[in-house]
Amino acid sequence: MSIDPAALPRHVAIIMDGNGRWARERGMPRIEGHRRGANAVHEVVRAAREIGVKALTLYAFSAQNWFRPPEEVSMLMRLLREYVIAERAEIMDNSIRLVTIGDTDRLPGLVREPLDSLVCESAGNQAMTLCLALSYGGRESILATTRALCDLVKQGVLSPSDVTEDRFHSAMQTADLPQLDLLIRTSGEVRLSNFLLWESAYAELYFTDTYWPEFGRDEFIRALESYRGRERRFGLTGDQLRRLG
């Protein structure tokens, strides 16, 4: 696929939903849905890199997912470890920078150790940024940023009037990522589920009934084509945009 880089979203985020339902409808245990979902991650990351998307954020494990049955959480952690180890060569060979957002201190050591290692090892890569949202919640992120800025105000480093929209953004974990342009959700659900709430303020939304294990390169391209056909006005009128363009 060849798209004018100017027509591509700079930053795409995906809520990877439907692994469990995909497995249940096929009489399989939920973990098999998650395993197939890991294959979809591999395919979509590769497609994004080849097409020229600069940043891809994947909602891999939410802050609320900790409340799932302990055996499922344990299996998800093992799968995450397997993914990080298995994808190391792909990430390094394709100059992908791996970063994370969320409360990753809660992750068990079996995940944190290979994850932290690959984050450090890939820090100089420049072709694309792959951001994994782990133990992440949008409300939690906004609250953590607010607390951090309140501490700076309390210390006298900032005054309340210094806390502008730009200053708030610069204190968030996503500050060094491009503005979020396109947010995709799979499996037919039509909600944000506490994902990138601040960052999605002007993102285009794309919903598909496809379960995540079946979401691949072709479906990803359809989402990009949908984005390319939209007029992004940011509060202006279409006529104003045309005059500015």
Q: What is the pLDDT of residue 238?
A: 55
DSSP 235: T
CATH 3.40.50.300 is held by the domain 7-136+179-244: no
Mean pLDDT of the chain: 94
Alpha helices in 87-137, H assignment, sequence order = 88-93, 109-121
Q: Per-residue confidence at 21, pLDDT binned at 50, 70, 90?
A: very high
Region 210-229: mean pLDDT is 96
Q: Per-residue confidence at 241, pLDDT binned at 50, 70, 90?
A: very low
What are the sequence ranges of the domains in the chain? 7-136+179-244
Q: What is the pLDDT of residue 231?
A: 73
Q: Which amino acid is at 21?
A: R
Catalytic residues: 17, 65
Handedness of CA 159, 162, 168, 171 (dihedral sign): negative
Q: What is the pLDDT of residue 6?
A: 76
The 10s digit of each residue's pLDDT in 98-112 is: 999 999 999 999 999
